[in-house]
Amino acid sequence: MSRTPFEVVAAVDIGATKTTVAVVPLPVVTWTARSPDGSVRVRTAPTDRDPDVALATVVSAVRAGLADLGPAGVVLRAVGCAAPGPLDPELGVVIHSPNLGWRDVPVGPSLGDALGVPWSLDDDANLGALGEAILGAGRGARTVAYLTVSSGIGGGIVRDGVRLVGDHALAGEIGHLDAGIGGTDVPRCSCGRRGHIEAYAGGVCLAARAARRWPRGRLSDGRAAPRDADAILRAARHESEVRPLARDAETALATAIGAFAAVLDPGVVVVGGAIALAHPALTRRAAAIAARRAIPETAASLRVVHAMLGAECVLAGSALMAAAVAADPSHHQRRSKVKGVRHA
């Protein structure tokens, strides 16, 4: 008896330090990568700073994933990829990634050409939002607002299963909203402005704040000052001198949650990202502040939960986007040609 061919997509998450790849059967209706007997196997490799090498590694990993599924009968239908922004999802180009040192890299078209399938490219916050909304903690809600707290603060919105991108592809950029904290020590954000939510709650900015506050690396009693976001949030539990930094981070995240709630009235706010997932009290306190500030009706309906898929929500979102372009492959390619991108 011959096996019926089955269809899969490739999901890729190119991060600043590591790249993960999975081959996912269609339709993408669940995300089981984290379960020991999951049908999705995730391959991880360091992200090479040379984009050609990095993309060749992705292609090899996809081919290895396909080979895993058996000698024949597997059809790859599309590849969906996440990368750090800013990027152009229509052209599939990473415009500039300071951490990787990449500039104008046509990630989408390159992967699509190498694998011979249609492609999709978007940034990690947006794809994390999609993954959590459809396959994770947002399941069942009509409007899902996603907030990611890691080295920076990102956000994304999914409504009726579709990403809300905004009129200039900037929707959900909640990290760069004013935190509303004020006072005299208004920290600078990674974008250059002061007082944004990311300036108080993003990992990189939080570490910079600590470095400015304790320039000799010592608390007033001589003990070592915390240097990164993780250490700051741990120390804040018992060090009154560190607590104000954590409190500002909570207040800033409450502003993000409050803005999502007031503008969108989502069914759920999903909070993910390495820092939030490692410090659940941060989200809990931020949600409590947001509820205290909101109008009672909004406070009563506000639901803030942690992401369920962990870091793999981005990969899940990539798989969902790949499934979408598999169903309508002309979409991205047509747009690329109109804008005249050179397919690498």
Where do contacts with a copy of itself occur on this chain (CB under 8 A)? 141-143, 145, 155, 157, 159, 164-174, 176-183, 189, 191-193, 195-196, 255, 258-260, 262-267, 293-298, 301
Nearest to 9 by CA among 145, 120, 165, 123: 120
- The smaller minimum CB distance to a copy of itself, of residues 167 and 221, is found at 167
Query: What is the closest distance, in whole angstroms, from the C-beta atom of residue 253 to a copy of itself in the complex?
Result: 13
- The smaller minimum CB distance to a copy of itself, of residues 12 and 254, is found at 254
Query: What is the closest distance, in whole angstroms, from the C-beta atom of residue 162 to a copy of itself in the complex?
Result: 11
Query: What is the closest distance, in whole angstroms, from the C-beta atom of residue 260 to a copy of itself in the complex?
Result: 6
Q: Please list, in sequence order, all residues whose beta carbon lies within 8 angstroms of the beta carbon of residue 110, skipping any fewer than 6 positions away.
A: 55, 343, 344
Cβ contact 260:266 at 8 Å? yes
- The smaller minimum CB distance to a copy of itself, of residues 46 and 166, is found at 166
Query: What is the closest distance, in whole angstroms, from the C-beta atom of residue 321 to a copy of itself in the complex?
Result: 19
Cβ contact 136:129 at 8 Å? no
Nearest to 172 by CA among 130, 217, 109: 130
Query: What is the closest distance, in whole angstroms, from the C-beta atom of residue 11 to a copy of itself in the complex?
Result: 26
Cβ contact 312:41 at 8 Å? no
d(CA 224, CA 288): 31
- The smaller minimum CB distance to a copy of itself, of residues 219 and 288, is found at 288
- The smaller minimum CB distance to a copy of itself, of residues 18 and 103, is found at 103
Query: What is the closest distance, in whole angstroms, from the C-beta atom of residue 297 to a copy of itself in the complex?
Result: 6
- The smaller minimum CB distance to a copy of itself, of residues 50 and 185, is found at 185
CA distances from 1 to 8, 68, 69, 265 (A): 22, 21, 18, 53
Cβ contact 144:158 at 8 Å? yes
